[in-house]
Structure 1
Amino acid sequence: MKILIIVPKIDNNGPVKGAIALLKGLRSKDIDAIILPLEKGSNDPYLSGESNDLSNKSSFLSKIKKLKEIVNDFKESNHKTVIISFCFKPDILVFLSGLSKISITSLRGNLIQNYSMDYGILGKLLALIHYYISSKHFRIVVLNSSMAHALRHYKKKLFVIENFIDEPPFDYENKSSKVLEFIFVGGLTKRKAIVELIDIFKEISEEGYQLKLNVFGDGPERNKILKKIKEYNLEEIIILHGVVDDIFKHFSYSDVFVLPSYSEGTSRAAMESLYAGLPCIMRGVDSNHELISSEDQGILCNSKKQFKNAIKNYIDNPLTQKSCLLRPPYRQEIGTNKYLDIINSIK
């Protein structure tokens, strides 16, 4: 059996990291799985010894042709082939290649809300097109029950597989610091509400609290954020680090993860932080209620005031011991097994 996992390109975006976590999970079970990016990325360590012919093709039509050739070669060698596609472009590629009958699409959030916030009016149209294309795949995987409810018309081909992460070895030894360090990981976009978070940190700092926020990520709001940090004289409190390869290194010295996003599928960064023993402060939207199900895992907020109080609560009552806070079903072994059940149902 051959499993082809198709992604836009190999980078640090959440869906791609999810694809890599699945790739590693399948390989750990001696499943012959390969990852095929459509474009060349800056970090392609998972392509060693594999064909990355799709990224070598310049046009979309040539990528479609090449994907068909790859699948036909496997069929001629009597290999059962299953495709798992992540994100818009890979889903379109599989659809236009006529390979939907052997494919699984992984949808990662509320597409209408997410695309509308990212692309405006055009975003809603793109989301509807994406939903239509996804409905033609043999199976649709969503991350949580709210997404499943939104797509209930396709319930015969719909499966819920909770998001999961690659789980590296991690040292839970506590660091000693007088200043509590908060960490934000995600795209610097309006949807992630990072500008609102800066306003909150400004107000808390003005009340005399000592705190620090490390921001990891990049995006269209970066210049606006830098301007606000300078305007508020918060250069010593809020630090922008850009995109990094090993976020777990930075979780090791952090205390609390904070993510005020207006919409989330199931945040990979939040799962990674929970795995690293960091409680989460998040907005009470989408599947966050499922991910943060106990007090030790964090606090869900629905207003600026609640975010402010939650941050101050952790400053006043810092944790003394770290341990893994990520619970089933958000574990790699469980998620991989659920994918295998779907894969085995494809003839």
Structure 2
Amino acid sequence: MNGITSLNLYPSLNMTAIQSAMSLFNQVVSSNYYVFLPGLQERVVAGSAMMNHHGRALVVEVMKLEVKISNSGIGDIAAQYRELSESNAVTEAVKSKGMESLYFLSKKRLLSVITKAEETRLAVHALKQEFNALSLDHYASELLDYDESRLKILHAREASLQTQREKIVADLQALKAADAVLGTDFWLEQTKSLLPTPEEVELLVSIAIVPKVDAQIIQLALQRLGQYVDLIAEVAKRSSLAQAIMKASGKLTANTRERLDNQEKIQVLQARKERVEAYDCLLEAKAQWVGQVGNVLECVEIFLRECRLFQTAEAVEMRRLYDHFLTFEQMLRQVRV
């Protein structure tokens, strides 16, 4: 093929994706996000350092190529070539000689640009390959499986503790309610040393001495009393009620303490699980970085291919070469954003 084919060849660049990928890696490093997976955290630290270094190196390489293209003088040569080709002020021999000189000068300048572009291509390719070779494998499948099994156990324990708590709270409420009823003058007189038996309570209700509501409160407490104090022949001392309230309160405190400890363990494992699930974001960020650097590499390769198509000493072709230089420079400036 003779001559540059098109100016509309380059893939679109999204340098924001590169910046986002770098930000994610830097954030993971600064927060020790995968500290529980030391191997992965170390690789992310290495990846972050590499991304930052390679990102700067990419910009430097692109800027050097941009300067080379800008200083090539192809625009001036193209303008002189066109002006000379359309001139009637010189003989054909002089015109031919001048155009030939300009053509060879353009080829020389173009070769210099091609050489620099090839250096840039190799440098960008090396940056891409080196980062792409970085492994982010965490080798933590067994740990994650163990965490998952522990989470199931802890969640089951949480449900059990919650059930226990509800029962203790209900018991404590029943005991305290009975203590309030039995603290009235009538009951203080009736229960100086021993608590009433269920039969005694029923008798007092039947002869309308004790309200039925109070009787139900006392009966409920008597049913739950034996869970907290030892009874002799189903008879409890008056002090047993206070002891039961104290023991129930102690059990509630112990339950609360264990639940908090259990919930803390769940939170730690759940956070680890969520961070591992977010691991895919790291892989995506890496792929985005590699992909966008790959697009820059593709742009340089297209530029090289099109430059090598320039062969004809014609004014229109010289102008197309210059236009292609301008288009490529615009693309290169995107990399610096």
Q: Per the shorter chain, which TM-score range?
A: under 0.3
TM-score of the two chains, using structure 1 as the length reference: 0.18
Larger CA Rg, structure 1 vs 2 = 2
Query: Which is helix-richer, 1 or 2?
Result: 2
- Greater RCO structure (CA 8 Å; 6+ sep): 2
Query: Which is strand-richer, 1 or 2?
Result: 1
TM-score of the two chains, using structure 2 as the length reference: 0.19
